[in-house]
Amino acid sequence: MASEGASGKYTTVSIPVTLYRRIKKLIEDTGFTSVSSYVTYVLREIVAAHEMEKGEEPFTPEDRERIIEKLRRLGYLD
């Protein structure tokens, strides 16, 4: 079920109470203001990492060869 928050739509995700308590203790004296904000941060990081793994290679084989050749000319590669 989605609801409107201050900065957009939100949904509720259930986690075990014991995990909630562990996270709440973990974030004490940090910049995180709630368990929800911490969990959102962690999930964003994980999703971004998975998206990058599945994403396209940032350089074409031709780009890679040009970069290697430039590094050779600059003396970084033999």
What's the pLDDT tens digit per position in 15-69? 999 999 999 999 999 999 999 999 999 999 999 888 877 776 778 889 989 999 9
Say if 25 falls within a structural domain: yes
> Whole-angstrom Cα distance, residue 21 to residue 33?
14
Say if 78 falls within a structural domain: no
User: Which two tokens mark 37?
Assistant: 């904000």
Say if 18 falls within a structural domain: yes
Q: Is 39 in contact with 14 (CB distance < 8 Å)? A: no
> Whole-angstrom Cα distance, residue 55 to residue 64?
17
Provide the whole-model pTM: 0.60
| Total number of domains constituting the chain | 1
Residue 29 phi, psi dihedral angles, 5° rounding:
65, 30
Longest dimension (CA), the chain: 59
Say if 19 falls within a structural domain: yes
Residue 76 pLDDT: 87
Residue 9 phi, psi dihedral angles, 5° rounding:
-85, 145
Domain carrying residue 31: 2-73
